Amino acid sequence: MLTTIHKGKYYNVEYSIVNVAELEENLRIGAETYHPEKLKILSFLNKKANGDTIGQYFYLAKELFDPQKFPPRKVRLLELKNMGNFEIFDIPEVLSTEFGSTKNRARFGDVVISRLRPYLKQVGFIYFPEVYTTTELLILRQKITKALGVIGLNYYLYTFLMTKWVQRILFWSQEGVNHPRFPKYVLLNCPMPMPSLEFITIVKQLIENYLNLKQKAEQLYKQAEEILLKELGLKNWEPKTKKIKISGVEFEEEENISIRMLSEVIKADRLDAEYWETKYDEFLNRLEGKVILKPLKRFLSLKLLKGVEVGSDNYQEKGVSFIRVSNITKFGIIERDQKYISEELYLELKDKFEPEKGEILLTKDATPGIAYVLKEDIRGIIASGIVRLKVKDIEKEYLSLVINSIVGQMQILKEGGGSIISHWKPSQIENLLIPLLDTQIQQKISQLIQQSFEARENSKKLLEIAKRAVEIYIEKDEEEGIKYAKKEIKSLRLKWENENEA
């Protein structure tokens, strides 16, 4: 294989020349498969790796979930939506009866990666004893025979998969039209330079500290949520159930019979059965008996500020960030299938559609009800599926937690007829009921959320240090990578110590 450039009169064209004998497995002939950038990266990594590949040290684990072998229980289910920016945000617990045998079992120390476009940045390290994943996530597990004695190699692999070279190889290896993805062999055959045990140990320590801080952030957020639910009398709340028998076997199911007056139906303008499910009345009655409820519009200093749709024709590979619903999580803004717009278009729209520090960004389309308090000014434009909330007379972090919690989500589910609605109307958003707890409790919850955010930000810095150290090792040498990592760790440590003293 080789790459060359044709110099034309008006422009130059770079292209690849590949012999038939050099075609990848399955004789792939797609032009992108042999993109000059990919071939150059492979050549570069091969020289550094000296024949070592990911597949020499890791294999793709496949342990399909068998519902027949386990009684119904709560398990952690990792999906694509719970990942981004090379991180796992949270892994929710669901009943094992809610999914079938198409889920794979991952263990602590496994590395997972999405092979589905546009989610290549979804790489994660499993830090729970047992997690089930969707089939679009590949599970990489260390081979005992090949990697025996190389402690921490899985931490190094996790970091290596984030590097710009691996990401570009996987990007140009995608195939398919509707749901492009890269073949598994591309991942396993990817050259992987192998550093010394000292370097791997430094990376391992950085990732372990990153994971510890990340778990601390999750615990602080969960603590804040538990305080909220306890104060509202909703901790461990579940809808009422009734017992039924089918073929002599007893089951429990939610109460699903609701008798309503025609006048109620006409007033609500809703005829769908899901809207009138008893669990929604039960939930709201429980809240009304515990705390004062006010509509969200009571806490808005301005009307909802909606985003704008620029149209896909204005998307660019680089430029100013165009923030869409898929980029918003309750923990922050992520680069998930990030789109960009031109500087000129940004300047035209920024006065009306650029969010400001302290505002709450709230999704209203696709996956409505995700709220995040913007911690700093950003340079970008929000899409029409997002609204900006300027709030008053309530703690911002408290309000965002309420919306993200069961309190907000149950109301959204009701409005959507029992499913996640694709569009949340501004009038519905404004009338979302917010429980008004004591100011001191609001402040306590807000402080925990802020501490959670700080821990999460510091964890991301450690992750970036590990990633950059690996890139420096590959670009230059191991000594330079170690020197960089130690310098950055020392700088962070001094910063944290000064903040604690203050």
Question: Between the CA of residue 410 and those of 124, 271, 284, 406, what are the distances in Å?
Answer: 30, 19, 9, 6
Measuring CA to CA, how many Å separate 348 from each of 337, 343, 387? Answer: 23, 9, 19
For residue range 14-60, what is the model confidence (pLDDT) as tens digits?
656 766 555 666 656 666 777 778 888 988 999 999 999 999 999 99
Helices (H), 135-196: 144-147, 153-160, 164-172, 184-188
Residue type, 77: L
Q: What is the pLDDT of residue 71?
A: 76
Specify whether the backbone of 27 is left (phi greater than 0), alpha (psi in -120 to 50) or beta. left
CB 25 within 8 A of CB 183: yes
Looking at residue 133, its pLDDT comes to 93
Give the pLDDT confidence of 344-367 residue by residue, as tens digits: 999 999 999 999 999 999 999 888
Average pLDDT, the chain: 86
Dihedral over alpha carbons 481, 486, 490, 496 (to 10 degrees): 70
Q: What local confidence, expressed as pLDDT, does residue 37 receive?
A: 84
> What pLDDT is stored for residue 321 in this prediction?
95
From the list 114, 182, 106, 188, the residue with the least C-alpha distance to 146 is: 188
Query: How far is Cα 222 from Cα 224, in angstroms, rounded to an integer?
Result: 5
Asked whether the predicted pLDDT for residue 246 surpasses 90, the reply is no
- Are 106 and 112 contacting, i.e. CB atoms less than 8 angstroms apart? yes
Is the separation of the CB atoms in 140 and 153 below 8 Å? no
- Residues 283-309 pLDDT 10s: 888 888 789 999 999 999 989 999 999
Residue that has been written with the tokens 């994971």 in this structure:
211
Cis-peptide, bond into residue 191, ω within 30° of zero: no
| 192 secondary structure, DSSP code | -
Rounded to 5°, the CA angle 96-99-105 comes to 70
Q: What sign does the CA torsion over 207, 212, 215, 221 have?
A: negative
- Rounded distance between C-alpha atoms, residue 336 and residue 80, angstroms: 10
**pLDDT computed for residue 497 by the predictor:** 59
Strands 111-114 and 137-142, by their bridges, are antiparallel
Q: Give the whole-angstrom CA distance, residue 106 versus residue 62.
A: 8
pLDDT (tens digit, 9 = 90+) per residue, 159-190? 999 999 999 999 888 887 677 888 899 999 99
Instruction: Tell me if 385 sits within 8 A of 363, measured CB to CB.
Output: yes
- Per DSSP, what are the bridge partners of residue 360? 373, 389
- Which pLDDT score is estimated for 244? 63
| C-alpha pair distances (Å), 397 with each of 38, 150, 175 | 44, 44, 42
Indicate the burial class of 188 (C-beta count within 10 angstroms; 0-12, 13-18, 19 or more): middle
As beta bridge partners, residue 77 has 132
Cβ distance 92 to 109 under 8 Å?
Answer: no
Task: For residue 365, report the phi and psi dihedrals to the nearest 5 degrees.
Answer: -125, 160
Q: Which alpha helices (DSSP H) does 135-277 contain, by range?
A: 144-147, 153-160, 164-172, 184-188, 197-231, 262-268
Least confident of 228-242, 346-360, 400-414: 228-242
Q: Give the percent of the chain with pLDDT over 90.
A: 57
User: CA-CA distances (angstroms) from residue 487 to 105, 232, 469, 482?
Assistant: 38, 47, 11, 9
Over 70: is that where the pLDDT of 1 sits?
no
Can you read off the two tokens belonging to residue 436? Answer: 């008004």
Q: Write out the two tokens for 134.
A: 């969707």
Q: What is the structure's pLDDT at 98?
A: 74
Q: Worst-scoring range by mean pLDDT, 102-106, 209-213, 284-288?
A: 284-288
Q: Is residue 136 very low, low, confident or very high in pLDDT (cuts 50, 70, 90)? A: confident
Q: What local confidence, expressed as pLDDT, does residue 215 receive? A: 93
Confidence (pTM): 0.84
The Cα–Cα gap between 473 and 383 comes to 39
- Classify residue 102 by its DSSP letter: T
